[in-house]
């Protein structure tokens, strides 16, 4: 296997644009070469995402069905009970997930919820899975509470480029997003940060989004790349789909700019053909969400994913480790 390539945090727009716009076969070859220098190309990291508090969010994210201000009809729920979350986590582990992600539709958590959140983290870790949470913005005290509870990853997507951000969200700023990421990183929690494509942004917006992440002082350990799911009753409900090759190019650029990160093929897989998903894996995606629901959106069922993995010769990272240990 080739030696790992040195990491960079000084990519220029011109460099990234040239990579993104290269002939597709050249781009895929470069992305796969980088991928193989750091990962087994036939392994996928499997995560499970659970909405532990749904709806009623005060943010106005135009893509989100959980916003209370953008026209969605989704009703709000209370924070899920700890034991119910842990019961769902046990099912996820039985289904092959090695990372359990818990998401709450909040602008930021309230202090009264921190004890329950800490209990969820401790319970999931006791099952031997990595823990991840996405709870909105955090203050210093909240970050430390999550860290001390043992949280492995914190997800906080930047969503899009700084230029296009105000077209998507007005209730918080792009700088707010980066501030939360810095706070999480400084506390010693691993960062999960990516974005959503297909929201009407330009090619350069997609490039700039990935440049922002790649030029952080440390690359996010996980980079979820989501294809917009136009949710009913949201401002982006009628948005036309992004060209599949543009999506594959986005995955490839993420892999090249951030060689050691897990690049997650996230929301939108139900609308992707097997061939498109295969191209994304070849372009460097090596993580997916399993289970038939992502927060409030559909996700491919277990049988469909199993059939795809079999066709492509892919195995879960955890299974691969188990076989190697025998």
Question: Which helix (H) or strand (E) segment is 325 a member of?
Answer: helix 317-325
Cα 255 to Cα 284: distance, rounded to the nearest angstrom: 5
Asked if 301 is an active-site residue, the reply is no
Q: Which of 185, 264, 269, 280 is catalytic?
A: 264
Given phi > 0 = left and psi -120 to 50 = alpha, else beta, which region is 46?
A: beta
Q: Which of 172, 192, 255, 269 is catalytic?
A: 192
Q: Which of 99, 132, 145, 249 is catalytic?
A: 132
Asked if 280 is an active-site residue, the reply is no
Q: Which of 64, 183, 249, 280 is catalytic?
A: 64
Q: Which of 57, 99, 183, 269 is catalytic?
A: 57
Give yes or no for a contact between 201 and 164, defined as CB atoms under 8 angstroms apart. yes
For residue 106, which of 144, 145, 67 has the smallest C-alpha distance?
67
Cα 281 to Cα 35: distance, rounded to the nearest angstrom: 10
Q: Which of 8, 36, 99, 101 is catalytic?
A: 101
For residue 130, which of 118, 139, 121 has the smallest C-alpha distance?
121
Check residue 40 and report its DSSP letter.
Answer: -
Q: Which of 61, 183, 249, 269 is catalytic?
A: 61
Question: Which helix (H) or strand (E) segment is 174 a member of?
Answer: helix 174-186
Question: Which residues participate in catalysis according to the annotation?
Answer: 57, 61, 64, 101, 132, 192, 264
């Amino acid at each position: 296997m080739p030696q790992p390539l040195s990491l960079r945090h000084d990519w220029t727009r011109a460099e990234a644009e040239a990579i993104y716009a290269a002939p597709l076969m050249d781009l895929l070859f470069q992305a796969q070469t980088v991928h193989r220098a750091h990962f087994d190309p036939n392994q996928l990291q499997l995560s499970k995402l659970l909405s532990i508090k749904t709806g009623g969010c005060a943010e106005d994210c135009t893509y989100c069905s959980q916003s209370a201000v953008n026209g969605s009809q989704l009703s709000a729920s209370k924070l899920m009970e700890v034991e119910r979350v842990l019961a769902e986590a046990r099912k996820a582990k039985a289904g092959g997930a090695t990372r359990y992600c818990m998401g709450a539709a909040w602008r930021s958590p309230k202090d009264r919820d921190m004890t329950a959140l800490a209990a969820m983290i401790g319970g999931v870790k006791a099952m031997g899975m990595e823990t991840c949470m996405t709870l909105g913005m955090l203050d210093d005290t909240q970050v430390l509470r999550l860290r001390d509870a043992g949280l492995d990853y914190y997800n906080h997507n930047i969503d899009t480029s700084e230029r296009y951000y105000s077209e998507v969200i007005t209730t918080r700023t792009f700088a707010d997003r980066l501030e939360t990421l810095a706070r999480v990183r400084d506390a010693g929690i691993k960062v999960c940060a990516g974005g959503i494509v297909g929201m009407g942004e330009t090619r350069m917006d997609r490039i700039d989004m990935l440049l922002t992440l790649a030029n952080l002082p440390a690359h996010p350990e996980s980079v979820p790349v989501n294809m917009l799911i136009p949710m009913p009753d949201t401002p982006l409900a009628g948005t036309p789909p992004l060209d599949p090759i543009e999506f594959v190019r986005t995955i490839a650029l993420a892999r090249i700019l951030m060689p050691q990160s897990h690049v997650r093929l996230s929301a939108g897989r139900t609308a992707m053909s097997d061939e498109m998903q295969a191209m994304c894996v070849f372009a460097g995606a090596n993580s997916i969400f399993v289970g038939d629901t992502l927060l409030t959106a559909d996700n491919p069922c277990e049988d469909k994913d199993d059939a795809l993995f079999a066709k492509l010769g892919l195995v879960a990272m955890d299974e691969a480790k188990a076989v190697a240990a025998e």
